Amino acid sequence: MSESEQSGRRAFLGATAAAAAAGLGFVALAPGMQLIKFAEAKAGMAGASSKVRWGMLIDTTRCATGCTDCVTACATENAIDPGSGRPGQSSQWIRKIELKEQSTGREISLPMMCQHCADPPCVDVCPTGASFKRADGIVLVDRHTCIGCRYCMMACPYKARSFVHETLTQQNPEVPRGKGCVESCTLCVQRVDKGQEPACVEACSKGDHTAMLFGDLNNPTSEIARRIATTASSQVRADLRLDPGVRYQGI
Amino acid sequence: MANRAITFREIEGKGGFYALLAGCGVFLLLGAYAYFQMEHHGHVITGMDNQIVWGMPHVIALFLIVAASGALNVASIASVFGKSIYKPLAPLSALLALALMAGGLTVLMLDLGRSDRMIIAATHFNFKSVFALNVFLYTGFFAIVGAYLWFMMERRMNRWTTAAGVAAFIWRLTLTTGTGSVFGFLVAREAYQSAVLAPLFIVLSFAYGTALFLLTLAAASALGRLSLGAAVVQRLKNLLATFVAGALYLVVVFHLTNIYFTRNHGVEQFILLDGGIITGVFWVGQILIGSLLPLLLLLLPGRPEAALSRILTACVAVVIGGLAQMYVTIIGGQAWPLDLFPGYAARSSFFDGEIHAYAPSLVETLLGLGGFAIAAVIVIIALKVLRLLPEKLDDATLDPQQAKCTAS
Name A94's bridge partners.
A113
Question: Does residue B311 lie within any of the structural domains?
Answer: yes
* Lowest mean pLDDT segment, chosen from A34-38, B32-36, B362-366: A34-38
* CA-derived radius of gyration, chain B: 22
* Cα distance between residue A54 and residue A214, in whole Å: 7
Q: What is the pLDDT of residues B263-318, one digit of tens each?
A: 889 999 999 999 999 999 999 999 999 999 999 999 988 776 678 999 999 999 99
pLDDT at A4 over 70: no
Name B50's bridge partners.
none
- Chain B contact for A228, CB < 8 A? no
- Chain B contact for A167, CB < 8 A? yes
* Cα distance between residue B77 and residue B239, in whole Å: 11
Q: What's the pLDDT at A44?
A: 45
A57, A233 in Cβ contact below 8 A? yes
Q: What is the pLDDT of residues A66-84, one digit of tens each?
A: 999 999 999 999 999 876 6
Q: Tell me which chain A residue has its CA closest to the CA of residue B188.
A: A157
B115, B109 in Cβ contact below 8 A? yes
* Cα distance between residue A125 and residue B35, in whole Å: 25
Q: What is the DSSP string of B286-333?
A: IIIIIIIHHHHHHHS---GGGHHHHHHHHHHHHHHHHHHHHHIIIIIH
Q: What's the pLDDT at B187?
A: 79
Phi, psi of A183 (to 5 degrees): -145, 165
Are residues B113 and A180, on separate chains, in Cβ contact within 8 Å?
yes
Q: What's the pLDDT at B41?
A: 95
Q: What is the pLDDT of residues B8-64, one digit of tens each?
A: 888 887 778 899 999 999 999 999 999 999 999 999 999 999 999 999 999 999 999
What range defines the domain where residue B317 resides?
2-341+366-407
* CA-derived radius of gyration, chain A: 26
Tell which residue, B89, B183, B198, B75, has the closest CA to residue B131: B183
Question: Does residue B346 lie within any of the structural domains?
Answer: no
Q: Where residue B377 sits, what CATH number does that domain have? A: 1.20.1630.10
Question: Does residue B143 lie within any of the structural domains?
Answer: yes
pLDDT at B403 over 70: no
Q: What's the pLDDT at B63?
A: 97
Question: Does residue B361 lie within any of the structural domains?
Answer: no
* Cα distance between residue B278 and residue B285, in whole Å: 10
Question: Does residue B349 lie within any of the structural domains?
Answer: no
Query: Nearest-5° angle of CA A139, CA A145, CA A150?
Result: 70
Residues 126-145 of B with CB under 8 A from A: 126, 128-132, 135
Q: Which of B40, B53, B347 to mutate to test the interface with A (most CBs of A within 10 A)?
A: B53
Phi, psi of B55 (to 5 degrees): -115, -145
| pLDDT band for position B148 (cuts 50, 70, 90) | very high
Question: Does residue B354 lie within any of the structural domains?
Answer: no
Are residues A97 and B352, on separate chains, in Cβ contact within 8 Å?
yes
Phi, psi of B303 (to 5 degrees): -65, 135
Q: Rounded to an integer, what is the distance from CA B143 to the centroid of its chain?
A: 19
Q: How many domains does chain B have?
A: 1
Q: What's the pLDDT at B230?
A: 87
Chain A residues with CB inside 8 Å of B54's CB? 150, 154
Question: Does residue B358 lie within any of the structural domains?
Answer: no
Question: Does residue B347 lie within any of the structural domains?
Answer: no
Q: Rounded to an integer, what is the distance from CA A54 to the centroid of its chain?
A: 12
Smallest Cβ distance to B131: which of A71, A88, A127? Answer: A127
Sheet of A212-216: strands edge to edge?
A: A212-216, A54-59, A246-249
pLDDT at B1 over 50: no
